[in-house]
Structure 1
Amino acid sequence: MSTATFLQAKVGGLPKPFWALWTGTLVNRLGTMVLPFTGVYLTQARGLSLGAAGLVMAVFGAGSLASQLLAGVLADRIGRRATLAGSMLATAATMLALGFSTTLPAIMASMFVLGLVVDAYRPASNALVADLVSPAERPRAYGLLFWAINLGYAVGMTGGGWLAQQGFALLFWIDAISSVVFAVLVWRAVPETKPEVAEQEGGFGVVLRDRVMVAFTLVILGNALVYLQTVTMLPVAMAKVMGLGEFGLAMALNGVLIVVVQPLVSDWLGRRDLSLTFALGVAVMGGGFALTAFVSSPVWLAATIAVWTIGEIVTAGIAGTIVAALAPAHLRGRYSGLFGFAWSLASVLAPLVGSRLLDVGPKTLWFSIGGIGLVSAVGMVALAPAIRRRAALNES
């Protein structure tokens, strides 16, 4: 196979508006430099106590919980493009407001609004992909967006860590500018794809009465509880086994594998049965975390990271494709909002559940997390026939 043919198979055949969305997503994630260092900023730059910083982060989480549901409704009512561009402009303004906030009430207000708007683009983005891309190409399209988010975040976090040492002000400006660039790019290069007003029937009540979607959301919640241990309890648990430098080096393997491997396999995975592929990925991810119970060195940690990263790669792009297959066209924003809500809820529950399990013992934590992954995978297998029927019905 020639290089041109290979590239065509991996990135060809997708519409130009999708690539505008992809480029904007990459730019936005490259500029994501504030959130990974929020705790450090609050305690060091603003001098907040750990208790006050925790309260501020809880307020951010409350905003995030409401964000996905609200954004899903807006994506269906006022349009995908308007919701995405508006949320990015609001994110830019809120980032600057947070950067100039000096009192605790002002910081808390800014963080609540930031929780509402910073990821509000996701339901609109997911709906846009479903609107723009044919069902056969959606796994590849969602996978490429996943790849852009991970690549941009890895570079942004690395750059943000270095720039934070020079002072935090520049981080807020970079984050704001990247958000504005995303908004402008989408507004100019991506058409509005919202169905006609006459088709706008129902709301979240319709979504919540969809048993298949609700069951799938519970599977996603389990998957998210497993995955989010990477940024909650995994660093805490590994700090007792190795130095933070060794941990960071091992974790870099996750980003490397995703950047190198995921684009190579996303089109092949997209041709497999969606539900069973997702179930396999969740099971592998859970197994990788269960193996963490036996980690005693950076090398063994890297081995477990490789296992759950393979699971992450397998699931990349599949979840969004399933949501698109389940959702009626005029409710794609709301369905994507419920999907995003599962992740927001998991971001609140993961540290609460994980910390209590870790208090009992590392093996209790990692075997329990592995068990959650296995149960989620079994649930996904059980849902597979219903998802196949719905996908066939919506594509007919």
Structure 2
Amino acid sequence: MAVLTSRPAATAPGPPTLPRPFWMLWLGTVINRTGAIVQPFLSVYLVRVQGFTLAQAGAVMTAFGVGSLCSQVISGWLADRIGRRATLTGGMLATSAAMVVLGAVSGFGAMAATAFLLGLTIESYRPASQAMVADLVPPALRPRAYGLLFWGMNLGYSVAMVAGGWLADHGARAMFGVNAAVAVAFAAVVWTTVPESRPVGGSLPGGRLRKVLRDRLMLAVCAITAAYGALYAQAFTTLPLAMAEQGISRAHFGLAMALNGVLIIVVQPLTGPWVARHDPTRVLAAGTAVVATGFALTAFVHDARGLALTVAVWTAGEIVVAGTLPTIVAALASRELQGTYAGFSGMSWSAGAALAPVLGTTLLPLGARVLWATTGLIGAASALGALLIAGRVRQRTQPNP
């Protein structure tokens, strides 16, 4: 079993550094996210270009979400079965093909079916990437490595939002070609520069999924992750609706939310050393509690300045959670099950995020205080859960004296 923390050997000539294959994986991730412009603007394309009703567009997006939910476990299983590099590159090539088809077809049935296939492939790189990091990076450096991947994704996403917004208005169909091209570029970078990292002889004869389902500690982490997903995803589901009811314009809302990306880009690289010095499970609990506090404070927001303050609070928590959650999952997984465990973790987050709009839109009519107090309590429960399992995680992942 992997260990959660470790220190560089006393004879090391200098501070440990991340290996070159990790940086190539990071570069490919940034390239991919820079061109990931279809998903944020797909609903706009469906309504404006395809002429779908809001109900039809919602159904297509639901098909995409179902595919994305399934992809995490499937790709994680494949990463352990056929290898990390093959799963990631194959998934990105399949994503590229699905993008091209989605940009070419029309009609509700064809769009819904292709959107499902796109969802099934577009997130396939995540469990494989997470498993690669666990294979390539020593335990003591994993919080930093996972944090840098998160930082790179946000760096690329900030570019994608600008480019995607322009293309959505001026050349919507070109979005699919651009997104398809960067998916191929990601696959090419990984295939040519990152060696296969799956442990030799690490293939199990069967029962990978059953092994995870029997791991009660990992299931507890999945429950904590799902609750956190339901909390965090409010930022992109219910929060815009709630702020509109408070009279905050879309322009001011966009500026306040832009603070999230700015803080991540500026602060995230600076947090690695601090996170690495502390117990990841306790850091996860603290970060989740800060996110919950930020959303709970939204109940008292009446203008854009107040919203920006709450965004800054929950972003601070998000930054530390980003590097610690995958670190914990990697530590709990055996070497031959890194992809499968990462897939279950990703599916748990996606499940929570899928519940977020249902929860939020149900509570919003009851008033802002009810909505954000309940959301904050969900986050508090997630943080408490992390604290409750901290001892068991340490006991299982620390080396015997």
Deviation at 1:198, TM superposition (A): 5.8
List per-residue Cα deviations over 1:34-73 (Å, max 9, x = no partner): 1101111000110001111111111111111211111111
Given the alignment, which residue of 278, 284, 299 partners 1:278?
284
> For 1:195, what is the secondary structure of its paired residue?
coil
1:218 corresponds to 2:246: no
Shift in Å at residue 95 of structure 1? Answer: 0.6
- Correspondence 1:159 to 2:163: yes
Query: Could you tell me which residue of structure 1 aligns to residue 214 of structure 2?
Result: 209
Amino acid at match of 1:159: A
Indicate whether 1:245 and 2:251 are aligned.
yes
- TM-score with structure 1 setting the length: 0.95
- Deviation string 1:349-368 (CA, Å, 9 cap, x unpaired) is 11111110112221111111
Counterpart among 302, 310, 313 of residue 304 in structure 1:
310
Aligned mates of 1:97, 1:72 — CA distance in 2: 25
Aligned pairs for 1:128-147 (under 5 A) are 128-147=132-151
Whole-Å separation in 2 of the counterparts to 1:172 and 1:62: 20
How many residue pairs match? The answer is 385
| Alpha-carbon distance in 2 for matches of 1:301, 1:237 | 11
Query: Partner letter of residue 181 of structure 2?
Result: I
1:322 maps onto 2:318 in alignment = no
For the residue of structure 2 that corresponds to 1:165, the secondary structure is helix
1:8 maps to none
Which stretches in structure 2 are left out of the alignment for 5+ residues?
1-14
Question: Which residue of the partner structure matches residue 342 of structure 1?
Answer: 348
Cα distance in 2 between the residues matched to 1:346 and 1:373? 12
Report the CA distance shift for 1:308/1:198 in structure 2 as closer, same or farther (over 3 A).
closer
Task: State the distance in 2 between where 1:119 and 1:267 align.
Answer: 29
Residue matched to 2:373: 367
1:184 and 2:188 are equivalent in the alignment = yes
Instruction: Select 1:389's aligned residue among 370, 379, 395.
Output: 395
- Normalised by the length of structure 2, the TM-score is 0.94
Partner residue in 1 for 2:52? 48
Secondary structure of 1:46's match? coil
Query: Counterpart of 2:266?
Result: 260
Measure the CA separation in 1 of the matches of 2:88 and 2:124.
7
- Spell out, residue by residue over 1:59-108, the C-alpha distance to the aligned partner (whole angstroms, 9 max, x if none): 11111121111111100000000000000001111011100111211111
AA aligned to 1:263 is P
The answer for unaligned runs of 5 or more in structure 1 is 1-10
Does residue 233 (structure 1) correspond to residue 238 (structure 2)? The answer is yes
Say whether the 8 Å CA contact 2:329–2:345 is kept in structure 1: yes
Per the alignment, in what secondary structure is the counterpart of residue 178 of structure 1?
helix
| Farther off after superposition, 329-338 or 187-196 | 187-196
Q: Deviations over 1:132-184 (max 9, x none)?
A: 00000000000000000111111111221122211212211111111000000
Counterpart AA for 2:211: V
- The structure 1 segments of at least 4 consecutive aligned residues displaced by more than 4 Å after TM superposition are none
Query: For residue 76 of structure 2, what is the aligned residue in structure 1?
Result: 72
- Residue 217 of structure 1 aligns to which amino acid in structure 2? C
C-alpha distance in 2 between matches for 1:310 and 1:131: 28
Secondary structure in 1 matching 2:251? helix
Corresponding residue number in structure 1 for 2:109: 105
> Could you say which residue in structure 1 is the equivalent of 2:337?
331
> Which amino acid in 1 is paired with 2:143?
P
2 CA distance for matches of 1:211 and 1:317? 22
For 2:203 and 2:73, the matched residues in 1 are separated by: 20
Equivalent AA in structure 1 for residue 169 of structure 2: Q
Q: How much does 1:390 deviate? A: 1.8
- Structure 1 counterpart of 2:19: 15
The code of the aligned residue for 1:389 comes to Q
Look up the match of 2:12. Answer: none
Give the stretch that moved more between structures: 351-360 or 246-255. 351-360
What letter matches 1:167 in structure 2? G
Equivalent residue number for residue 177 of structure 2:
173
**Alignment CA distance shift 1:257-1:57 (3 Å):** same
CA distance in 2 between partners of 1:12 and 1:245 (Å): 44
Distance, in Å, in 2 between the alignment partners of 1:234 and 1:210 is 35
Structure 2: how far apart are the matches of 1:63 and 1:199?
A: 26
Using the alignment, how far apart are the partners of 2:383 and 2:82 within structure 1? 36
Aligned mates of 1:194, 1:160 — CA distance in 2: 35
Q: What residue is the counterpart of 2:41 in the other structure?
A: 37
Partner residue, 1:287: 293
SS in 2 for 1:193: coil
* Residues 80 and 340, structure 2, Cα contact 8 Å, conserved in 1: yes
**CA displacement 1:93-138 (0-9 Å, x = unmatched):** 1011100111211111110001100001111000000000000000
Q: Measure, in 2, the Cα distance between the counterparts of 1:387 and 1:21.
A: 28
Residues of 2 paired with 1:259 and 1:195: CA distance? 33
Post-superposition offset of 1:240: 1.6
